[in-house]
A and B are shown apart, each in its own frame.
Chain A
Amino acid sequence: MIEVKDVYFTYPTGVEALKGVSLSIGDGEFLAIMGQNGAGKTTLVKNFNGLLKPTKGEVRVDGVSTREVSIAKLARTVGFVFQNPDHQLFSETVEEEIAFGLRNFGFEEATVDKRVTWALNLLDLTEYRTTSPFMLSGGERKRVALASVLAWDPKVVILDEPTIGQDHRQKETLRQFIVQLNEQGKTVVVVTHDVEFVAECSPRVVLMSEGKIVADGEAKRILTDTTLTLAASIVPPQITQIFLRLTDLGLPKDVIDVSEAKKIITKYLVEAKARH
């Protein structure tokens, strides 16, 4: 349970990145934070694990204020996968890389080994166990970074721009993986620009603009609201764009799912055929 209470955050440079954000994320929720560049998305999630402390207001993780505990302690509960894997990979082998976090949290060597094997298997990296992370491709490095966080089994997983630089198949694997994590009871928070990705996952969406939350609700409602999407500089999913242009046929506007769209169109066509 993460509670954000009227949080303001100003960087030492004087940039005010958050201007009164309140938000509550329940256990096991799947949340996507969206919005234009500089809207404060990353700043907000960095407040979740204590990397940044609010200038004003408070963030509570499971009832404890982030000001009162160390980042290391919070990180045990709130796992944060950074956007660029190159900002964290440093070990000689993939297995060492994954063990790094576990050792920091004081797991015993036998457990470390078991968890590493588990995480390697989870992200399909077993064959690279003794390879240097620097020899891997971009997508694989991203998976190593993910594995290195999931290894200690945090309750909350934050992913900053997980889909950037991934091809379609990797993205699909990632999507299934994230959905699966969420179904296993983990709280998942995704920071992203990728509208299509969000449309396919259909999580709760929090829309940010200029340091404030401008909308919070179901993906279906928010991604199809053109005033909101315009304000946050995002484009509705392509399937929604088609439906928005077909309103004169009497079709619904709030469609983000391709298979749902197919059903609606088929139904419409069958009815139209019957009419003639």
Chain B
Amino acid sequence: MSVFEGFRFRRVTSPIHDRDPRIKFVLVIAMFVIAILFTEFLPLLVLFFLPIPFVLVAGVRKAWLRSLRGALFLATFIFVFNFVFGYFYRQYTSVTALLEFSLAMSLRFLVLVESFSVFFLTTSPDHLSLALEQSHVPYEFTFAFTTAVRFVPVLAEEAQTIMDAQKARGLELERGNFLKRVRNYIPILIPLIVSAIRRSLELAEAMESRAWGASSKRTNLYVLKMNHGDLVLLVLSIGLLALGVYVRYFVPIPHLSTFLPYLPL
């Protein structure tokens, strides 16, 4: 569950929180594209450290670290997967090259997770839906999206209560072999799904009784406006992307093997 921790928004203000979510999203996309551009270790390492000043300015260090720690397991998995399959199915001349590629791949995953984590940690769901709406995404989709985000903690809490109720009836989740353990979760999943469906029907009724969708043209109390800070961030993001593309095509990227001794496979 700790990966989700890194995506839960807390209402505070900081120079990062106050930025227009659309611009922050441009930054995330820029990071995303650059991460995809490179398969070498060193540029990805630079990319990995890039969001840290943002995290510090926004004051979300703790939650951000927690989401990274949560992602570490998958990153390790990606490393092992790439290493093993690279060893058997690809033509690598040295261990260092294979090692670099596998490390780079798990680092790329971490870069994606951390930049999205910064985005979600510093953007309130309301702002996000506002941004989507003003980017002309149909309101039905925006609403479904923000509702889904909004109900994640509610469902997590409900799952905990259900688990408690079933444990109080003698259910032991950790008992038995693998198949039995999976089956142990049936008494938890059924009440959870039933209540989620019931809740969604109730929500639909409550919304309709408050005239949801009555007028096709909605107006908002708050309108997102870009200011100087946003422009700075936009220029920064585009600059970053341009730099990434430039380095990719015109700068020779040093390999790890240049620094490490040659180890033949």
**Which residues of chain A have a CB within 8 Å of any CB of chain B?**
46, 49, 51, 70-72, 75-76, 79-80, 82, 84, 86-90, 100-101, 104-105, 134, 148-149, 152
In the complex, which residue of chain A has the Cβ closest to the Cβ of B162? Answer: A87
Would A72 and B167 count as touching, CB distance under 8 A?
yes
Do residues A101 and B167 form an inter-chain contact, with CB atoms below 8 A? Answer: no
A82 partner residues in chain B, CB cutoff 8 A:
161, 164-165, 168
CA distance A161 to B224 in the complex (A): 46
Q: Which of B158, B161, B162, B170 is in CB contact (< 8 Å) with A101?
A: B170
> Of all chain A residues, which has the CB nearest B189?
A90
A26 to B169, CA, bound (A): 23
B164, B168, B191, B198: the one contacting A89 at CB < 8 Å is B191
Q: Chain B: how many interface residues by the 8 Å CB criterion?
A: 19
Report Cα–Cα, A88/B161, bound state, in Å: 9
Instruction: Return the contact of A87 from the options B170, B186, B191 (Cβ within 8 A).
Output: B191
List 17 extra interface pairs beyond A75-B170, A82-B164, A149-B168, CB under 8 A. Answer: A51-B164, A72-B172, A76-B170, A80-B165, A82-B165, A84-B161, A86-B198, A87-B158, A88-B165, A88-B166, A88-B169, A90-B186, A90-B187, A90-B191, A90-B194, A101-B170, A104-B172
Instruction: Indicate whether B171 reaches chain A with its CB closer than 8 angstroms.
Output: yes
The smallest C-beta distance from B21 to any residue of chain A, in angstroms, reads 27
Q: In the complex, what residues of A have CB within 8 A of residue B195's CB?
A: 86-87
Q: Is B190 on the interface with A (CB-CB < 8 A)?
A: yes
Chain A residues in 8 Å Cβ range of B169: 75, 88, 100-101, 104, 148-149
Within 8 A of A (CB), among B157-185: 158, 161-162, 164-172
B191 contacts A51, CB within 8 Å? no
Is there an interface contact between A86 and B172, defined as CB atoms closer than 8 Å? no
* Contact residues in A for B187 (Cβ distance below 8 Å): 88, 90, 100
In the complex the two chains form, is A70's CB within 8 Å of B191's CB?
no
B72 to chain A, nearest CB (A): 20
Give every chain B residue within 8 A of A72 (Cβ-Cβ): 167, 170-172
Q: How far is the CA of A208 from the CA of B198 in the complex (A)?
A: 33
Question: 16 A–B contact pairs at CB < 8 A?
Answer: A70-B172, A72-B167, A72-B172, A75-B168, A82-B161, A84-B161, A86-B195, A86-B198, A87-B161, A87-B162, A88-B169, A88-B187, A88-B191, A100-B187, A101-B170, A149-B168
Bound Cα distance from A181 to B172, whole angstroms: 28
- Chain B residues contacting A101 (CB-CB under 8 Å) are 169-170
Q: Which residues on B sit within 8 Å (CB–CB) of A134? A: 194
Q: Complex Cα distance A102/B32, Å? A: 53
Q: Please, which residues of chain A bring their CB within 8 A of the CB of B167?
A: 51, 71-72, 75
- Inter-chain CA distance A75–B171, complex, in Å, is 10
The answer to whether A104 and B190 touch (CB under 8 A), given A87-B165, A88-B162, A88-B165, is: no
- Name the residue in B158, B186, B190 with the highest tally of chain A Cβ atoms < 10 Å from its Cβ: B190
In Å, the complex CA distance between A50 and B123 comes to 39
Q: Which residues of B contact A84 (CB under 8 A)?
A: 161
Complex Cα–Cα for A49 and B165 (A): 11
CB under 8 Å from chain A, chain B span 29-76: none
User: How many angstroms from the CA of A220 to the CA of B27 in the assembled complex?
Assistant: 66
Complex alpha-carbon distance, A75 and B161, angstroms:
16
Q: Which residues of B contact A87 (CB under 8 A)?
A: 158, 161-162, 165, 191, 195
B162 partner residues in chain A, CB cutoff 8 A:
87-88
Distance in angstroms from B35 CB to nearest chain A CB is 33
- Asked, given contacts A82-B161, A82-B165, A90-B186, whether A104 binds B191 with beta carbons under 8 Å apart, the answer is no
In contact, A80 and B168 (Cβ under 8 angstroms): yes
Distance from B70 Cβ to chain A, minimum over Cβ atoms (Å): 15
Report yes or no: B194 in contact with A86, Cβ–Cβ below 8 A. yes
Q: Find the residue from B162, B170, B172, B190 having the highest chain A CB count within 10 A.
A: B170
Q: Which residue of A lies closest to B169 (CB)?
A: A101
- Nearest chain B residue, comparing its CB with the CB of A145: B165
